[in-house]
């Protein structure tokens, strides 16, 4: 394993982990408010396709990113309507949203498959200009990659250092108590879904506009479900989510490295490691109440009429 290979794994992890991290951050916010979104896959697809379409039409990737964020927020609001206002089951609603996303994204993206777009410019990480091009090209990142860690910190700050975040977490623990102390759980949950959805949209935008620079149906490849797993893996904490997303993507990159060094381990088996890790972590920490799920996660808030 040369230094180049190891740095290469790190670089690949950062590149492909960025979209995963944004998505996970969005879901952290939602789950902290007590809503689990199994339809993330659909949200990602719709955001990715609309962002890509707008980028192609206007030639402006930044506009595409904004539209993707908006699309993500809107898709989540659909979930919100079903789950908060109509009090439907969260899992079923999430899955329905997923199917909706499959179809809607295909419709939006149809004319844009294989279209070339202007992507985001790549900027070298400051201070590395002296390195030979082979190394420095590993660290030419685009705007969204640079923003992802600040975004995680922003989410942390939102959840733990603002009144809004406090209210959100209170609603996630026990909506009735939160209501009794003067908050409106329904409004807070809608807000959480919209903000979370925008972050998910950001992740989708990075995927289609900056990373793959392409649109194909189902291109997110299960990232939505990976994000749900990562939220648990990072124990619903935005800063730990950074580690989770990085570990996951590094595992993928590492597996690719192994492949091309002639090692005969099945890439499929290697791919399962992150999920098995998450399972193990869940089981190991399961009994420990300190870092467990927000108590009212998944439950319907009946409210008082």
Applying CB under 8 A, among 126, 132, 182, 287 the residue interacting with other proteins is: 287
| Residue 286 near other proteins by CB under 8 A | yes
> How far is residue 62's CA from residue 45's CA, in Å, rounded to a whole number?
18
**Minimum separation from the CB atom of position 93 to other proteins (A):** 5
Burial 162-191 (b: 16+ CB within 10 A, else e): eeebebbbbbbbbbeebbeeebebbebbbb
By CB under 8 A, is residue 145 in contact with other proteins?
no
Q: What's the first-to-final CA gap in the chain, in angstroms?
A: 64
CB of 91 to other proteins, least distance (A): 6
Span near other proteins by CB under 8 A; candidates 147-155, 170-178, 237-245, 285-293: 285-293
Residue 278 lies near other proteins (rule: CB under 8 A): yes
Among 110, 162, 177, 295, binds other proteins (CB under 8 A): 110
Q: Between 156 and 204, name the residue whose CB sits nearer to other proteins.
A: 204
Among 28, 98, 145, 242, binds other proteins (CB under 8 A): 98
CA distance 232 to 294: 11
For other proteins, the closer of residues 25 and 249 by Cβ is 249
Q: Are 257 and 207 in contact (CB under 8 A)?
A: no
Q: Which residues ranging from 16 to 55 are in contact with other proteins (CB under 8 A)?
A: 16, 38, 46, 50, 53-54
Give the list of residues 6+ apart from residue 124 with CB closer than 8 angstroms, or none: 136, 139, 140
From candidates 234, 240, 252, 294, binder to other proteins by CB under 8 A: 252
**Two structure tokens written together for 25:** 């951050």
271 binding other proteins? (CB under 8 A):
yes
The CB-side HSE value for 4 (13 A sphere, CA atoms) comes to 7
Tokens 């992802």 identify what position? Answer: 148
Greatest CA separation for the chain: 67
Nearer to other proteins, 140 or 149 (CB): 140
The CA-based angle 295-292-185, given to 5 degrees, is 30
Look at residue 232 and give its three-state secondary structure.
Answer: helix
Q: Can you tell me which of 65, 104, 151, 195 binds other proteins, judged by CB under 8 A?
A: 104
Closest approach, Cβ 136 to other proteins, in A, equals 11
The rounded distance, in Å, linking the Cα atoms of 150 and 166 is 20
Window 213-232: residues binding other proteins (CB under 8 A): 213-222, 225-226, 228-229, 232
Query: In DSSP terms, which residues pair with 123 in a beta bridge?
Result: 141
104 or 195, CB closer to other proteins? 104
Token pair listed for 64? 């595409």
DSSP letter assigned to residue 206: I
Q: Is 154 in the site for other proteins (CB under 8 A)?
A: no
What binding mask, one character per residue, do residues 155-194 give for other proteins by CB under 8 A, x or -?
----------------------------------------
């Amino acid at each position: 394993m040369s230094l180049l290979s190891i740095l290469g794994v790190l670089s690949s992890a950062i590149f492909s982990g960025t979209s995963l991290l944004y998505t996970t951050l969005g879901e952290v916010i939602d789950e902290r408010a007590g809503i689990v979104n199994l339809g993330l896959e659909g949200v990602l697809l719709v955001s990715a396709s609309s962002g890509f379409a707008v980028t192609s039409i206007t030639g402006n990737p930044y506009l595409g990113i904004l539209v993707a964020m908006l699309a993500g927020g809107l898709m989540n609001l659909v979930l919100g309507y079903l789950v908060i206002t109509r009090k439907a089951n969260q899992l079923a609603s999430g899955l329905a949203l997923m199917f909706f996303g499959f179809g809607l994204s295909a419709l939006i993206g149809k004319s844009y498959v294989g279209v070339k777009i202007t992507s985001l410019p790549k900027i070298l990480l400051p201070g590395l200009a002296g390195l030979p091009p082979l190394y420095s090209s590993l660290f030419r990142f685009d705007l969204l990659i640079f923003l992802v860690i600040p975004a995680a910190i922003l989410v942390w700050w939102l959840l733990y250092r603002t009144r809004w975040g406090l209210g959100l977490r209170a609603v996630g623990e026990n909506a009735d108590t939160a209501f009794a102390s003067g908050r409106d759980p329904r409004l807070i949950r809608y807000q959480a879904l919209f903000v979370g959805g925008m972050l998910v949209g950001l992740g989708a935008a990075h995927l289609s506009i900056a990373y793959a620079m392409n649109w194909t149906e189902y291109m997110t490849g299960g990232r939505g479900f990976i994000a749900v797993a990562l939220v648990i893996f990072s124990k619903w904490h935005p800063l730990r989510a950074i580690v989770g997303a990085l570990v996951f993507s590094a595992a993928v990159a590492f597996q690719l490295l192994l492949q091309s060094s002639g090692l005969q381990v099945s890439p499929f088996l290697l791919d399962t490691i992150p999920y098995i890790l998450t399972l193990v972590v869940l089981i190991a920490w399961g009994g420990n109440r300190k870092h467990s799920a927000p108590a009212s996660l998944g439950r319907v808030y009946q409210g008082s009429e």
